[in-house]
Amino acid sequence: MKKIGLWIRAARLRTLPLSLAGILAGTALAYAAGYQDNLLFLLTLATTLAYQITSNFANDYGDGVKGTDNENRIGPQRVLQSGALQPAEMKRGIIIAAVISGLLTLGTLLRAFSAEDSQLWLVFALLGLFAIWASIKYTVGSDAYGYRGLGDLFVFLFFGLLSVLGTYFLYARAIALDVVWVAVAVGCLSAAVLNLNNMRDINSDRTSGKRTLAVLLGFQKARLYHCALITLAFLAMILHVGASNDSIFAYLPLLPFVILAIHLLKVMRTGRPENLDPELKKVALSTFFIGLLLLLVNRFFL
């Protein structure tokens, strides 16, 4: 039972809602377009969770063996850092999680596409493999892209564009402009969560040689970049709502931006990076609730 608890810690449950936001949003917009497949919905949720857990295991391992997770780091102590699991055990966990991710990807594609959809099979199978690779290579290896300031770009692509547009395409076999706006919004907010995490860890990351975008920008410019991400997300959601319909319920997914506006005031007034830690859950959960509200509104009110 103790080992199970350690693996649950390594899975970082508090990070999982953010990974679901894009799936919820993409499914919501598919509902709005007249598509519904409950089994496909569950498979996409499970696949995304598997990708995120793979990434969390790999992040624990990569930062642990590089020494980035040390006594100077702010936030919860990582499993490998604490010595509760050994590197070889974490490696096995990454492999198992990656295999489960692959199997769930296969199940999702079997549900979404027929045998005649050979080109779609190929494209989405490659995207699935790329997602698994990206989950691992964020911090693992000497060429980890998270150590070269590319983490924000990959988060925007995978949590935003691929998650929302890919999910919608599995249902509709097409892409609509109002879906693109939501994908941009979710991508920007997801990148904002990563940037906030990197601002919090900016001093320890700089010392350990982890060159995140926040380290490259510096704390002051990283705060401005953070404001730009959330502002762009809000504008993209406004464009989506304006392109949808005149129902007042269509505006409900904008409510979490009230919390995000208060959050930005807090960020701009905060001079000590370690004081940003409580803000992480506000942005992550706000992003999740935007996706959830989109789903509820499009499923039951529009």
- Are 10 and 90 in contact by the 8 Å Cβ rule? The answer is yes
Output the pLDDT for position 80. 77
Output the pLDDT for position 1. 57
Residue with the two structure tokens 């290896």: 141
In the chain, % helix, strand, coil (3-state, to 5) comes to: 80, 0, 20
Average pLDDT of adjacent 10-residue blocks, the chain of 302 residues: 80 92 97 94 97 93 76 70 81 95 96 92 95 93 90 96 97 93 98 96 90 95 97 96 80 96 95 92 97 93 74
Output the pLDDT for position 8. 87
212 three-state secondary structure: coil
Output the pLDDT for position 43. 98
- Are 80 and 60 in contact by the 8 Å Cβ rule? The answer is yes
Output the pLDDT for position 111. 96
Output the pLDDT for position 78. 77
Q: Chain-centre distance of CA 35, in angstroms?
A: 24
* Rounded distance between C-alpha atoms, residue 100 and residue 58, angstroms: 14
Domains of the chain with bracketed CATH: 2-301 (1.10.600)
Which of 68, 20, 18, 8 lies closest to 44 in space, CA to CA? 20
| Burial 245-283, CB ≥16 within 10 A → b, else e | eeeeebebbeebbeebeebbeebeebeebeebeebbebb
Question: In the structure encoding, which two tokens stand for residue 268, read together?
Answer: 């701009």
Q: What are 148's strand-pairing partners?
A: 211
Output the pLDDT for position 73. 65
Q: 207, exposed or middle or buried, with CB in 10 Å at 0-12, 13-18, 19+?
A: middle
* Rounded distance between C-alpha atoms, residue 97 and residue 92, angstroms: 9
Question: In the structure encoding, which two tokens stand for residue 168, read together?
Answer: 């919608």
Output the pLDDT for position 263. 97
Output the pLDDT for position 235. 97
DSSP assignment of 64-111 equals HHHT-SSTT--SSPPHHHHTSS-HHHHHHHHHHHHHHHHHHHHHHHHH
**Both ends of the chain: CA-CA distance in Å?**
46
**CA–CA–CA angle 142, 78, 271 (5° rounding):** 90
